[in-house]
Structure formats: structure tokens, C-alpha cells
Amino acid sequence: MRLVEALISALMVAGLYATMSYGLALIYGVRKVINIANAGTMTLGAFVTLLIWQATGLDPLLCVFIVGPLFFFVGALIEVFLVRRVAAQAPIISLLLLFGVLLVIQAATSLVFGGDVRSVRPAYIESVVKLGDITLAYNRLAVFFSGLVILVGLELFLRNTFLGRAIRALAQDVEACQLAGIDTKRVSMIAFGIGTALSGAAGCLLTLVFAFDPTNPFGVLQLKSFTIIVLGGLESVVGVAFASFVLALAENVTVTLWKAQLENLVSFVLLVVVLVVMPGGLAALLRRRGVA
């Protein structure tokens, strides 16, 4: 029964992990930059959600429809005025640039909101759902299903729309896209905007599970996102979902059978092992074996 509970808990946590990693994977796929500012935009999304909730009482699940579009424009502006200007430089330049953006966001939110720990607590925050002898938190179920909806919507967009196919093509070969007449600058801007919108939406949903403050912008979760996109193959949205479940399962089984203190250790050991053994992630491993 303990292992069954660990499996179900892993599934719930996987929805949370995947939600916060989709944007990171999408931006890397198109721009080939690690968006260090992802944790900052998640935190900013959480604070915007807090403001909306305090002003209107709107449920964080519905705040996603406000935060997402708003952060699309934030991401588009970051791409046009910052990332694009250093696109021709060494990768370390864009990495440091986005780290600087993270620090600016952290300092600005600290200045506006102070250093207190905040939380969003809708009426159902302590509600549970019982499945036989297994008890599930309603808020984690809500985040899981939200992550599932985002995954399906994003995958349908990338596969069934012209813009989505252009984003996938740009992730594979920039020169071929230019020869085909695709406006690569416009597509890059939109992809970065979508990635940032997903990050802001993730911050919105994370308010249902975690307290937050400007000085600790979901830092550990950011590192787990890096583990997930490396494990999933860096550019694959479906790979992110599968890698999220693998990581969550490893953590939950470890916590169930051994000690809770080992949870974060499992994540970072897994990151090191994947980088050494299969740097292309699970997707590359499956391709080598002829499965994908």
C-alpha cells in the first residue's frame, strides 16, 4: 500500500514538475539558451496571482488565463530587447544575461512586496479526495490536471498549427527555416513569449501548493526543472512530461522507503548520472534503440 501511495503521489508531483518545466524546454528548443530567469518569472507569476486573488478573490486556476497572456508579452519583450541582442555571442553571454534578469526580478519583487513569505489560500486549500484508503490533496489534483491540460494543448498547438510547426522546424534547423521563407525572428519572439507565459502560469499554479517570497524564487524547483529537461531530452515536450514522472517517482519511492531528507539528493544525483551516461536524455536513448 505504501508503494501504491508513492506511485499516486509521484503522478501528482509529476504534474507540478512538468508544468514548471514546459516553458524552459520550449525556450531551449528554439533559442538554444538556458533560461535561468525561469525561476524569476515563476515567482513574479505567483505575486501577480496573489495581487489578483487579494483584489478580486479570483481562483488561482482561473488566474492562469490572465497571467499567461500577460507574461507572453513580458517574454516577447525580453527576447526582442535583450536575448536577441546577444544571440550571436557565446552561449555564456545569454546565460549571464538571463541570470541578470533573474536578479532584477528578485530585487524588484523584494522592493515592492518586501521579504515576507506569502501564500494564496482559496477555500478548498485543505480539502482532500479519498480513493479507498488513499487520501489525495485537492490542490495537488488541481495542479496535476492543469499540467495535463497544458501538455495536451501545447502538443496539439506544436503539431497541428502552422505556427507550431514553424516553432518545431526552427528548433531543428534555423537555416532551413530561413530558406523556406519563415520569419525566424518573429517565430523566436513568439516561442520565447509562449515559454515565458508557461513559466508565469506555472508560478500561478504553484501558489496552490507552496508559499513563496522574493528572496527564494522557487530555487530548488528551478534546479529540478533543469534535471527534468535534461532527462527528457532538452527539446521534447512529451519528454518533459515523462521525465517529470520518472523524477517524481524516484523521489517518492526514496522518501517512502528511506528518509525524507534524501528527496533533493535524488534529483541532483539523477542529473549528474544522466549528463554522464546519456547526455541526450531518454529521447536520445530511445532513438538509439529504434523505439522513437
Which of 110-124, 216-230, 273-287 has the highest mean predicted lDDT (pLDDT)? 110-124
Domains of the chain with bracketed CATH: 2-288 (1.10.3470)
Res 292 pLDDT > 50: no
Show the CA angle centred on residue 123, arms to residues 6 and 248, nearest 5°.
20
Which of 208-212, 218-222, 283-287 has the highest mean predicted lDDT (pLDDT)? 208-212
Res 30 pLDDT > 90: no
CA torsion sign for 240, 70, 59, 45 is positive
Beta-bridge partner residues of 134: 131
CA distance 250 to 49: 31
Q: 40-53 burial string, b = 16+ CB within 10 Å, else e? A: bbbbbbbbbbbebb
Would you state the pLDDT for residue 291?
A: 45
Beta-bridge partner residues of 137: 128
Res 264 pLDDT > 50: yes
Confidence band for 166, pLDDT divided at 50, 70 and 90: very high
Per-residue pLDDT averaged across 23-41, rounded? 87
Per-residue pLDDT averaged across 144-152, rounded? 87
Which pTM was predicted? Answer: 0.88
- List pLDDT tens digits, range 109-141: 989 988 888 889 888 888 888 777 777 788 888
- The stretches of the chain forming alpha helices (DSSP H) are 2-31, 38-56, 60-78, 91-113, 138-160, 162-172, 174-179, 184-206, 219-232, 237-257, 263-277, 281-288
Q: What is the mean pLDDT of the chain?
A: 84
CA distance 240 to 227: 10
Would you state the pLDDT for residue 201?
A: 92
Centroid of chain to Cα 89? 26
What kind and span of H or E run contains 259?
Answer: none
CA distance 22 to 44: 17
SS3 per residue for 74-96: HHHHHHHHHHHHHCCCCHHHHHH
DSSP string of 93-130?
HHHHHHHHHHHHHHHHHHHHH-S--B----TTTT-EEE
- List pLDDT tens digits, range 75-110: 999 999 999 999 888 888 998 999 999 999 989 998
Percent of the residues in the chain that have a pLDDT greater than 90, as a whole number:
29
Per-residue pLDDT averaged across 190-206, rounded? 92
